[in-house]
Amino acid sequence: MTDSCQPPTHQSSDEARVRVIPAGPVHGCIRPPGSKSITNRALICAAFAAGESTLFGALRSEDTAVMIDALKEVGVVIQASEGGRTLRVDAGTRRKATTANPTLDLFVANSGTTIRFLTAALSAAGGNYRLHGVPRMHERPIADLVSALSAVQLGKIETRSPGGCPPVLIQSDGWGQSQIEVAGSVSSQYLSGLMMAVPIANATNDKPGETRIDVRGELVSRPYVDMTANVMRAFGADPNLIESQTANESISLCVGPATYQARQYNIEPDASAASYFWAAAAITGGSVTVQGLTRTAMQGDVRFCSVLESMGCDIQYQDDAITVSGRADRGVDVDMNAISDTVQTLSVVALFANGPTRVRGVAHNRFKETDRIGNLATELRKLGATVQEHDDGMTIHPLDACDFTPATLETYNDHRMAMSFSLAGLRLNGITILNPACTTKTYPEFFADLERLIGRPHHWA
């Protein structure tokens, strides 16, 4: 067994496992890497803009690398510097496959943002494409987005796996309609993809006008849609969100005839990643400051701090940082629809509260990188915890010290499973996490950063 901040080099990621060592309250300060959500949105806008853009503070991870590689396949020139944190994006050489050229084959691994954003963008731009990924990607639904695009696209678009899942085949001559309807209950990324595609369609349309998008039914993860609108505006587009007054629609929006223009753009640190460090303070009764994020950050996941506050933590909002102090000692009943990427983080915090925690509004979490309700409950039970699953979430009961069982936890190749489970190791000895390298999807340096924050090495096997 070795004590270092990276897995032994002679072992594959499938064989590697890590154990975080408990040792009292966590105190420190950290700045997470750039937001994955903002990075991939900015890449789409820059890749279809007129001119050369520069993105500062970009995230270097598997999900952003997949997006960059796919954009390069369609001819966008992207040059990285400063360890991938600065990206120069020039769409001047972008190409599309046509009847005279073969279909462009684009691999998206298991990146939901990449396949959803690119499916809409390439449909609007026109051309022939096949988007496919790892086996789990071919189990993740995209039918609602493809159905919405089918109504406006000139040409053919279809899914090739059962249940309306990828691969996605696109044979497009651009868009011919300006009215779109999409379901919002599975993923807000469908709406975000359509929103970002409208200025691309405008650029290929001789007479662009206003495009209206209506969301049918509930819209999950609404803050991500607001984020999309903010990024679009930074690149010259003009989305206008309208709160719907009808029973069958949650929101509508109109996107004007503007096209994307090149920009220099700064990307916030990742608020979802920050949740693990705030939780480290809440679990251990310490104090952790996350730099680069504020109460008014573009990312909705900063609201995770409000949940911790309701559990008993003290929250301090500074001009360029947020500090969480004290232990989260009260269970809560909370709707996490708007911040569903932090459900796994909260579930581990809830193990150490003094009452049960009920999480609501996250039925769509079953369709993420893994089933983030069922599989999460399975692993927490291995520790001796009592967890009830519900249609829209789960209830986590505090873990009695007498019931705790040291265990090896599966991550299901889900980065958020690995990062969340590491937090339990801050209080409980004997928790081993399999496949920790899956964090490369969004945060390759997570375990090294956690090690620096807590001031002691993990145990790698």
CA distance 417 to 421: 6
DSSP class of residue 89 equals E
Query: How many angstroms from the chain centroid is the CA of residue 448?
Result: 21
* Nearest C-alpha neighbor of 179 from the set 143, 216, 204: 216
Q: Which of 341, 391, 392, 403 is catalytic?
A: 341
* Class of residue 117 by CB neighbours under 10 A (exposed 0-12, middle 13-18, buried 19+): buried
281 and 325 Cβ atoms separated by less than 8 Å: yes
* Nearest C-alpha neighbor of 340 from the set 374, 305, 365: 365
Helix or strand or coil: residue 366? helix
403 catalytically annotated? no
Helix, strand, coil share of the chain (percent; to 5): 35, 25, 40
Q: Which residues contact 303 (CB under 8 A, 6 or more apart)?
A: 223, 338, 339
CA distance 95 to 445: 34
* Nearest C-alpha neighbor of 259 from the set 25, 91, 452: 91
Output the CA–CA distances (angstroms, integers) from residue 424 to 12, 357, 358, in the order listed: 24, 16, 19
**E strand residue ranges, 257-371:** 264-266, 287-291, 314-317, 321-325, 333-335, 357-360
Neighbours of 374 (CB within 10 A): 12
Query: Which residue numbers are catalytic?
Result: 341
